[in-house]
Amino acid sequence: MDAVVKFTSQSQGRDRVFRSTQYACALSIYLLRNKPDRKDLVARLKSLENNMSAGRKLLRLGNAANSIVAAKQTMQLSDRLLSLCLTVANINRALYFICDNAVWARNVGLIRSIDKERWSINASRYYLFSLVMNLTRDLYVILQLMQKKGRDNRFKSRMNQHLSDCPEVAEAVIPELDALIFLLLETLRSEPTVALDTVKNICDLFIPLDRLGIYKSSAGVVGFCGLISSLIGILTLARPTLRIKP
């Protein structure tokens, strides 16, 4: 119970719960779309989804400042490529929050002179840029880990054993490709923080891609990806050891 109270007392924790509920509703609405006898349930789910979305916008007020501080910190990293990826990601995330806050202010009537649709599109664009840079960081870290593991003698013996134990695979697949896939899977298995962050960012990527019309997905795909990403966010927030650093 103490862990639950500590988790929900954080604004990030509440946002993750709201986000999971929002996308769970979106997925449920998609699955129930062709069932006329569930119209009342669908209507309630849509109302809950909208309320969760509005609540999240309120919780995100002020997050732009946090992203700017994070950008200043990542600029000090000794690894220049890692520093570049994370700094650009945090700057775009700050711009996303600014646009998102403006949309919220327009929705509640605090600001009436802005084009809500334009600011919403800009928010999705900055969110996409942030995710692309985070995925670039993930790929960079994965490649570094693969190089390190590939030089390990114990891993080399395991790889050779794997290739010799699966001769039918070696015949059907290029041995070098099989070895590369084995190395990738073993790297991700030994580094769950990187694996979780990569899956989370890939799932999140479908949301702005669909919103911007770059890659249209069904509401079910967006809901499913959003739900998976949100659950990973809850897991990494509840267990900080599973959160990628920096």
CB-CB contact of 101 with 58 (8 Å): no
First to last CA, the chain: 29
46 versus 157: the higher-pLDDT residue is 46
CA nearest 133: which of 92, 95, 171, 105?
A: 92
**Is the confidence at residue 243, as pLDDT, over 90?**
yes
**Collapsed DSSP state (helix, strand, coil) of residue 163:** helix
Which pLDDT belongs to residue 200?
Answer: 98
Reduce the DSSP state of residue 75 to 3 states and report it: coil
51-55, 156-160, 167-171, 213-217: range with lowest mean pLDDT: 167-171
pLDDT of residue 172: 46
Count of beta carbons in the 10 Å neighbourhood of residue 97: 22
If you average pLDDT over residues 128-142, what whole number do you get? Answer: 98
Question: What's the rounded Cα separation, in Å, for the pair 236 and 244?
Answer: 9
The answer to whether 71 and 90 are in contact (CB under 8 A) is yes
Position 217: which residue type?
Answer: S
For residue 41, pLDDT over 90 is answered with yes
- pLDDT score of 4: 57
Percent of the chain at pLDDT exceeding 90: 72
Beta carbons within 8 Å of 30's beta carbon, 6+ residues apart? 218, 219, 220, 223
Structure tokens at 199: 């899956």
pLDDT higher than threshold 80 for residue 2: no
pLDDT at 161: 74
Q: Where are the domains of the chain?
A: 1-242
pLDDT reported for residue 7? 57
For residue 237, is pLDDT > 50?
Answer: yes
Q: What is the mean pLDDT of residues 56-79?
A: 94
Mean pLDDT of 24-38: 95
Instruction: Report the C-alpha gap between 76 and 116 in whole angstroms.
Output: 36
pLDDT per residue over 143-189, tens digit each?
A: 999 998 877 777 767 766 766 666 555 454 556 677 788 889 999 99
pLDDT value of position 167: 58
Give 95's contacts (C-beta < 8 A, 6+ positions apart). Answer: 64, 122, 126
